[in-house]
Amino acid sequence: MAKSYRLGIIGVSHMHVNSLIDDFAALPNVEWVACADTVPVVPTTTLKPASRPSSIRRALEHTGVPKVYEDYHEMLDREAFDIIIFCPENARHGEVAEAIASKGIHMVTEKPMAASLPEALRMMRAVQANNVELMVNWPTTWHAPVRKMKDLIDEGMIGDVWEIKWRNGASMGPLSYSKGEDAWNDVEKGAEWWHQSALGGGVLLDYCSYGACLARWMIGEPAVAAMAMKANITSRYGDAEDNAIVTVRFPKALAILEGTWTTPNAGIPTGPIAYGTRGTMVVDRTGVKVFTSPSYYGTEPDLVAEGDPLPEGRATLAEEFIHHLETGEPLHPTLQLQHNIEAMAILDAGIRSAASGKMELVNTPTWCIG
């Protein structure tokens, strides 16, 4: 009989918490114990879908979580857990992860790992000191063509990769998907952490983060420096940027990471796109298009590769994490702690560069004293 896992939830300010909950709820050996939110700096002004109250209500009524606490510290003191899903504001990942780890509980969070490299290192120290596991989830990890691109790169399909390009698809911001009566107005959006820089809001952490994760994985070595610009072009109800571009220098390659909350139609595949010495690869929703014939103009791909089926028993984030706990086999590379520290270091350099107007080094733990 499979081991049963007692699960809890801390922080529902990131609406992706609902998909994480659903993945674990689909397993037969999960017992939901309790949930709690963090206390927002600015009170939420709406009950609409994607709001904190909406996600708490969903956890209780849809998922069947039996209890809700006002204070997550009290919840941790009173209840016993094996795993906690935590999705608070980006800037609060460090404090929440420390509290969970101190109780000896394994944990899963949604990307990005934190709002800064010092906070990510704070999380790493807590995990190591308490001998618990932390998985940072990336939705792109579960897109089979992305994994196929990495396989083809490693096989040498396009030679040595010298650039990775990422630009998120159509998005008018994280609170723009509800329609009709459920649509958020500007005042409601402005009260949410997504549009508040101090809490880790903004598109650089939201969408450029995907590119940082994927570029580090595809290129296969740590980055060394970054330059970035960001701007709040149409989202003046908050002080966080709604567009950002980060250019990243690797020892033998470059990456361009673009994030946007002002694009109703991207017009091109999101990617990632990999440029190599012998060709180019483009990921779209259906597969990987490989171009190896020289051409100055658009051509049909030389190869279209579909993604392989995800491994049985490891096809969802919940299955992957529990498989890791039970077997000790490593998590998928993009979900691992060290990989996410290095992705966070890229983003941290980009944030510092956007503020300084200069190229900034991608710090390692040795140099990070914040």
Please state the length of the chain: 370
* Cα separation, 8 vs 291, whole angstroms: 46
Q: What pLDDT is recorded for position 224?
A: 97
Query: What is the model's pTM?
Result: 0.97
Residue ranges of domains in the chain, CATH in brackets? 5-138 (3.40.50.720), 141-312+344-361 (3.30.360.10)
As given in the structure block, the two tokens for residue 45 are 């002004």
Q: What are phi and psi of 280, to 5 degrees?
A: -135, 145
Which residue type is seen at 335? L
Q: What is the pLDDT of residues 73-121, one digit of tens each?
A: 999 999 999 999 999 999 999 999 999 999 999 999 999 999 999 999 9
Report the greatest alpha carbon distance in the chain. Answer: 65
* Cα separation, 338 vs 254, whole angstroms: 21
* Cα separation, 89 vs 296, whole angstroms: 45
- Helix 117-130 vs helix 93-102: angle between axes, to the nearest 10 degrees? 0
Task: Give the count of beta carbons closer than 10 Å to the beta carbon of residue 135.
Answer: 22
Q: What are phi and psi of 175, to 5 degrees?
A: -110, 25
Q: Which residues pair with 206 in a beta bridge?
A: none
360-361, strands of its sheet edge to edge = 303-305, 288-291, 279-283, 273-276, 161-167, 254-260, 243-249, 225-231, 360-361
Q: What are phi and psi of 260, to 5 degrees?
A: -145, 140
Distances 221 to 141, 256, 273, 351 between C-alpha atoms, Å: 18, 16, 17, 21
* Cα separation, 154 vs 299, whole angstroms: 24
* Cα separation, 58 vs 121, whole angstroms: 32
Q: What pLDDT is recorded for position 274?
A: 98
CA contacts within 13 A on the Cβ side of 307 = 20
Judging by DSSP bridges, how do beta strands 83-87 and 106-110 pair with one another?
parallel
Closest by CA position to 256, among listed 240, 268, 280, 273: 273
Closest by CA position to 36, among listed 8, 61, 3: 8
Q: What pLDDT is recorded for position 222?
A: 97
Q: How confident is the prediction along the chain (370 residues), in pLDDT tens digits per residue?
A: 379 999 999 999 999 999 999 999 999 999 999 999 999 999 999 999 999 999 999 999 999 999 999 999 999 999 999 999 999 999 999 999 999 999 999 999 999 999 999 999 999 999 999 999 999 999 999 999 999 999 999 999 999 999 999 999 999 999 999 999 999 999 999 999 999 999 999 999 999 999 999 999 999 999 999 999 999 999 999 999 999 999 999 999 999 999 999 999 999 888 999 999 999 999 998 899 999 999 887 789 999 999 999 999 999 999 999 999 999 999 999 999 999 999 999 999 999 999 999 999 999 887 765 5
Q: What pLDDT is recorded for position 364?
A: 86
CB 351 within 8 A of CB 240: no
Q: What pLDDT is recorded for position 2?
A: 73
